[in-house]
Structure 1
Amino acid sequence: MRRIRMSKIKEVLRLKYLNLLSNRQIQTITGVSRNSIANYANSFNEMNLSLDHTLKLEDEEVEQLFHSKKPLVSKISTTVVEIDWNNIHQELCKKGMTRKLLYEEIVISNPNIYSYSQFNRYYNKFVKTVNPSMRQIHYGGDKLFIDYSGLTMPIVNQRTGEINKAQIFVTVLGASGYTYVHASMSQSTKDFINSHVNAFYFYGGVPNILVPDNLKAAVISNKKGIVKLNDAYADMGRHYGIAIQPARPYKPQDKSKVELGVKAIQRWILMKLRHHTFFNVDELNEQINKLIDLYNERKVRRFNKSRTELFELLDKPYLHPLRANRYIYKEFKKATVGIDYHVELLGNGYSVPYIYLGKKVEVTYSSTSVVISLDGNVIAHHKRLFQAYTDSTMKEHMPAEHQYQYEKWNSRRILHWANSLGVFTTSLVQKIMDSKSHEVRSFKSCIAILSFSKIYGKEEIEMVSKVAFESNILKVSSIESMLKTKSYLYYYTQQTSVNNPCLNSHDNIRGGAYYAKSDI
């Protein structure tokens, strides 16, 4: 009960029992809180005194009546317990730990400690003195914060002297602040994911949640609470069973842990390497690895423990184990199955069962394999090809006699169409068919070229086919370009000038004999 002037105690009793006012009305008049008014009223009733007698007492006598049961000594005895708030803060980082449980454990050995509400007030006061990145409670093994340093490191090409900038990838575990650093030559999705995998092996496990900044390698869009992740990054998260929760745009508090980590890394590692000359990124990482261990071993003054010690205590026991198989970087593409029941990928063709002709499929490819899926179900699996313009065709994917939609398209029908346009068109189409390991793989190109006749007419297709056939030009895009620019006409102009004797006998034409003279 808060002490107030004794004259007000009398005033409270008078208004309460003589004027019969409510506690709220008395508060408005006297400024005494309703809780204090209720406490004074309860004490007065327990003492069983008359109102007239109490109002005639001196103020000091009233003080003895209402405060003698709460000597100052008892109040002091409840505040002498000193608490290690650093230790309390660290304990709260452990999963399942609560303030209430910690308070109850302290009360067992210190029965006269202040109330739980005071305990919370003192802890909140302590938190305000802590580094902003440490104010949030981060549970052990829960979050890994990720970002790139704005400061890069130069890599010198020994052969050309050209200088490239290595990107510095930084991760910080939430509870312990244990830090990992890795240099790569770009912030591409591939390098970004590779740095993640290296970090997981450095920590010896994976966290529950990844908290990256909104980098292009990680996030396609993050608007109004709806996050669209990069497909490859999301796939890596699924492989290791990790949730990905990017920091909110324009909310620096979401990633304060890693921002402070980046500043520390720039000061304690990158600045120490500023006078070194590195000729490749592996040399840079070798030096970083030496310094990151020293950095993590440094004592954090606030906790009087190193990040390594805090990692062993807070984060390591709660990390999830690594998968036995290391993640292999994959890329993703949407494609449409062509009439040749193949999907085009980087200049190569990969077959799917012919029943999926015309379907839009998802292609997932790595350095070793190509997987084609439809509505989440795998319909084809191939080894990755690297020789340009080669195909991977499985026999079980082929229809009978390579026919398309029950003989809607076949080589006989395509050649018949070509023959209606001209001899050279037929020869070109046949040449394209012969260039493929399976002639059905040529159907798409042949039909595209023959379809140009609907735009440019039969005569122009025949003329361009003659040029393409004799010059061994078989790509659809090249033939289309010749039609658009009419560059094939140059071929006919040259042919005319060569075969015209009148042009060759002109006085200003020197002829080949001129250049054969010995004195030239």
Structure 2
Amino acid sequence: MKQVRDVLQLHSVMNLSLRRIQGATNVAKSTISDYIKRFKHSGLKIEQINILDDDSLRLKLFPEHSSVVVSRRAMPDMNYLHKEMKLRKKTKVTLQLLWEEYKRDNPDGYEYTQFRLYYSRFKQALNPSMRQTHLAGEKVFVDYSGLTMPIYNQRTGEVEKAQIFVAVLGASGYTFVHATPSQTQEDFIYSHVMCYSFFAGVPRVVVPDNLKSAIISNNKNGIVVNESYADLNRHYSIAVEPARPRKPKDKPKAEQGVQAIQRYILARFRHHKFFSVDELNDAIASLLDRYNTKIIKHLQKSRTELFEEIDKPYLNPLPMNSYVYKQFKIARVNQDYHITLQMCNYSVPFKYIKEEVEIRYSTQSVYVYHKHKLIATHPRLRRVGETSTLHEHMPNDHQYINEKMNPDRLRSWAKNIGEYSSVFVEDAFDEVQHNPQAYRKISAVLSLAKLYGNTELELALMYATKMRTITTKSIKSILDKKLYLARSANNTNTPKQSLFDTHTNIRGADEYK
């Protein structure tokens, strides 16, 4: 349902056309139109879309349960059509005639309007070169400068390379520049937040390059936007229209802006040493004001003047809350009703065991969603192995009897294997505050009996107990290497020699009388 939410957000909040929404979401116009009609008929408001969970929203927009089978029509051979149309001066062929021939061979094929539309799209993909006209407040083009700036570490003497982020508004050419330590996702998103704050407003469309921090894939199969970048743009209600790979003509403003910044700002720093990224940003800020206020000769106006006249009045206002960088992960709830994130454990309500959930986490907090519904919130843990368990997520004790995994079942399983297995289970339960938190560990260790045998597992647990190492990984290592056999073979009663044993080279106390 995320696709439906994005389409309705762009339609209702951003008021984008069907063509714009199609470019931003890679959803067919007919599907977009269907989503919008269903939304209007449902009587819902756009604010309710983000409140409802996936099941409730699906029930409101898609109440019918019958599946409709859509037959696929034969697609025209575009290469053949293009070849014929290139020869039209000699052959006098027309697109109308080619369509009639297509319909003769495919009676159920597309009608002329759709036929012509598909061919028009095919031609645009072959030759996208055209003069771009930018609407006021519509687009911002973002890219990194290929030229980096050296940062000298005074403590270690190492030289690091600062990355230069450049953002240019399409209509006015008003430019923002920001230096970051890297091009990682977190730095990339932080530069966007600073950029929109610099503009004091938000455009309707952002055009990034195809770096992985923004776009996972952009090919004939469609556009896949990085989830953290998509979350940023949902926060600011911005559509994402990435440039096609290796097509700089799709983002001429960014290319020109990068080149101008390299010549006007970065070139001036060629003899200067910077010792931190913040120091570099302070130096950039002073020159950036001069760059934006510099008069453009053929327009006789500066970028700042053009921004005030053209772009600024049409920018959307900034959201009330600043964006907090979040990362995303899909996980499945374990049988102990916890999810694992970076080797730390967080509880969710007991009823979601084995369900797939979405984790959204920042440097401070962890949010767990099930079908777009928030089901758990925790502070972010940092120490490996830490667990955050909320009391309201715990099941009642009497529920264990009805669950597939419960303490009695695990104790019975261990008893069938042997004495040391039973001791291991009790020790595992003693280590946790709530029994289900030990289920995964116990189940993983007892399952080793199926691979190695009951006797071998008992010997390994006996060895592990003596060595005081009872983690799942160490027990499996003991079984793989058969360390318990090596210890038995070397278990002799011969006394160990001491450094102070008597021998001919030691004179003894009598020598000093």
Query: Which position in structure 2 is the counterpart of 1:147?
Result: 143
In 2, Cα distance between equivalents of 1:346 and 1:515: 57
In 2, Cα distance between equivalents of 1:274 and 1:404: 69
Query: Which position in structure 1 is the counterpart of 2:416?
Result: 420
The one of 141, 161, 181 equivalent to 2:157 is 161
Deviation at 1:158, TM superposition (A): 1.6
Query: Which position in structure 1 is the counterpart of 2:289?
Result: 293
The one of 223, 228, 251 equivalent to 1:255 is 251
**AA at the equivalent of 2:319:** R
Deviation at 1:308, TM superposition (A): 0.8
For residues 468-487 of structure 1, the aligned pairs below 5 Å read 468-487=464-483
**AA at the equivalent of 1:456:** Y
Relative CO higher for 1 or 2, CA cutoff 8 Å, sep ≥ 6?
2
1:203-250: CA deviation from partner (whole Å, max 9, x where unpaired): 001100000000110000111261100000000000011111101123
CA change 1:432–1:264 in 2 (3 A) is same
CA change 1:251–1:172 in 2 (3 A) is same
1:354-409: CA deviation from partner (whole Å, max 9, x where unpaired): 11111111111112221111222222222222233222212222211185471432
**AA at the equivalent of 1:418:** A
The one of 463, 470, 475 equivalent to 1:467 is 463
For residues 20-39 of structure 1, the aligned pairs below 5 Å read none
- TM-score by structure 1 length? 0.69
In 2, Cα distance between equivalents of 1:492 and 1:231: 55
Asked if 2 retains the 8 angstrom alpha-carbon contact of 1:175 and 1:315, the reply is yes
In 2, Cα distance between equivalents of 1:202 and 1:491: 69
Asked if 2 retains the 8 angstrom alpha-carbon contact of 1:432 and 1:474, the reply is no
SS at the partner of 1:513?
coil
Query: Which position in structure 2 is the counterpart of 1:112?
Result: none
Query: Which position in structure 2 is the counterpart of 1:447?
Result: 443
Asked if 2 retains the 8 angstrom alpha-carbon contact of 1:427 and 1:469, the reply is no
Asked if 2 retains the 8 angstrom alpha-carbon contact of 1:403 and 1:409, the reply is no
Query: Which position in structure 2 is the counterpart of 1:197?
Result: 193
1:132-152: CA deviation from partner (whole Å, max 9, x where unpaired): x99421111100001011111
2:493 pairs with 1:500 = yes
Asked if 1 retains the 8 angstrom alpha-carbon contact of 2:461 and 2:470, the reply is no
- TM-score by structure 2 length? 0.70
Asked if 2 retains the 8 angstrom alpha-carbon contact of 1:428 and 1:468, the reply is no
Deviation at 1:458, TM superposition (A): 1.1
Number of residue pairs the alignment of both structures matches:
379
In 1, Cα distance between equivalents of 2:345 and 2:130: 54
Query: Which position in structure 2 is the counterpart of 1:207?
Result: 203
Query: Which position in structure 2 is the counterpart of 1:102?
Result: none
Query: Which position in structure 1 is the counterpart of 2:500?
Result: 513
SS at the partner of 2:234?
helix
In 1, Cα distance between equivalents of 2:421 and 2:319: 57
CA change 1:460–1:257 in 2 (3 A) is same
**AA at the equivalent of 1:319:** L
1:17-58: CA deviation from partner (whole Å, max 9, x where unpaired): xxxxxxxxxxxxxxxxxxxxxxxxxxxxxxxxxxxxxxxxxx
Asked if 2 retains the 8 angstrom alpha-carbon contact of 1:178 and 1:311, the reply is yes
2:339 pairs with 1:343 = yes
CA change 1:405–1:423 in 2 (3 A) is closer
Query: Which position in structure 2 is the counterpart of 1:268?
Result: 264
1:481-505: CA deviation from partner (whole Å, max 9, x where unpaired): 33334355454455x1xx331xx57
Query: Which position in structure 1 is the counterpart of 2:511?
Result: none
**AA at the equivalent of 1:338:** N
1:460-514: CA deviation from partner (whole Å, max 9, x where unpaired): 21122123223333432333233334355454455x1xx331xx57xxxx64436
CA change 1:518–1:208 in 2 (3 A) is farther
CA change 1:515–1:390 in 2 (3 A) is farther
Out of 210-219 and 286-295, give the one that drifted further.
286-295
In 1, Cα distance between equivalents of 2:134 and 2:501: 89
In 1, Cα distance between equivalents of 2:502 and 2:365: 58
Asked if 2 retains the 8 angstrom alpha-carbon contact of 1:340 and 1:444, the reply is yes
**AA at the equivalent of 2:174:** Y
Query: Which position in structure 1 is the counterpart of 2:58?
Result: none
